[in-house]
Amino acid sequence: MARTQEERRAETRALLLDAASDLFAHKGFHATSAEAVAAAAGRTTGALYDHFGGKEGLLVALLERWVERRIVDISEVIEGVDALGDRLGAMWEGVVVGTNGANGPDGADGPDGEWLLLEIELWLHAVRDPELGMVGAERFGVMRDGLAGALVEWAERYDLELPAGEAELATQLIGLLLGAAFQHRLDPAAVPQAAVVDGLQRLLGLSAPAT
């Protein structure tokens, strides 16, 4: 019954990270107090300092986790292409409605697009701090590589010719997804899913040629 110390410690760590993930996304790093994070996690600041050494440590841990997250999803989507439009649509849904890592062992949470919020929050910190910047650069590198690889496989399987190098294409697709999500968040009606999917297809050279 009684879990080991190690299990309990791991759980506390996870709870703190998830709480921080939520709060940093919704309120921002500086506007979130260490105590608020601890409280949201059902722990106290003592535990937080023991695990992460401070608020900054929490941010670094999130950044490291950041590198791994959502990469699988974004390239998996391309994989089994039946109707490309549907798949690209799902990809877009994932970006817009995406939750961050807060959905731990215990299931659903974070219905809104908090993924994007955390993404931007972490990006800002990565850009402002050279140390963290390298981590951020790595993250996007991994994302691009993953998507680029998926594009190559996809092109081979269906014997299609990519309109540009796969690395360049990956950069553009991710760019459009992010930039569209950016606008969508402020004004969803102005960025319908069809517009995004349409743009992605055009980038892939799949548009219906003009009349």
Interacting residues toward DNA by CB under 7 A: 5, 8-9, 11-12, 32-35, 38, 42-47, 49-51, 54-56
End-to-end distance of the chain based on CA atoms, in angstroms?
Answer: 70
Which residues 6+ apart lie within 8 Å of 37 measured at CB? 16, 19, 20, 23, 48, 55, 58
Q: Which of 14, 84, 171, 193 binds a second copy (CB under 8 A)?
A: 171
Binding site partner of 123, from a second copy, DNA, none, Cβ cut-off 5-8 A by kind: a second copy
Binding site partner of 2, from a second copy, DNA, none, Cβ cut-off 5-8 A by kind: none
Measured from the CB of residue 172, what is the shortest distance to DNA in angstroms? 38
Instruction: Check if the beta carbon of residue 18 is closer than 8 Å to that of residue 102.
Output: yes
Residues 140-159 that bind a second copy (CB under 8 A): 140-141, 144
What is the DSSP code (8-state) at residue 127? H
Here the contacts of 184-187 (C-beta below 8 Å, separation 24 or greater) are 184/96, 185/96, 185/113, 185/116
Binding site partner of 44, from a second copy, DNA, none, Cβ cut-off 5-8 A by kind: DNA
Binding mask 94-133 for a second copy (x = CB under 8 A): -----------------------x--xx-xx-xxx----x
Q: Which of 31, 33, 35, 53 binds a second copy (CB under 8 A)?
A: 31
Q: Which of 9, 11, 14, 27 binds a second copy (CB under 8 A)?
A: 27
- Calpha distance 122→57 (Å, rounded): 13
Which residues 6+ apart lie within 8 Å of 173 measured at CB? 147, 200, 203, 204
| Closest of 41, 33, 52, 63 to residue 139, by C-alpha | 63
> Which residues contribute to the site for a second copy (CB under 8 A)?
26-31, 117, 120-121, 123-124, 126-128, 133, 136-137, 139-141, 144, 161-164, 168, 171-172, 174-180, 182-183, 185-187, 190-191, 195-196, 198-199, 202-203, 205, 207, 209-211
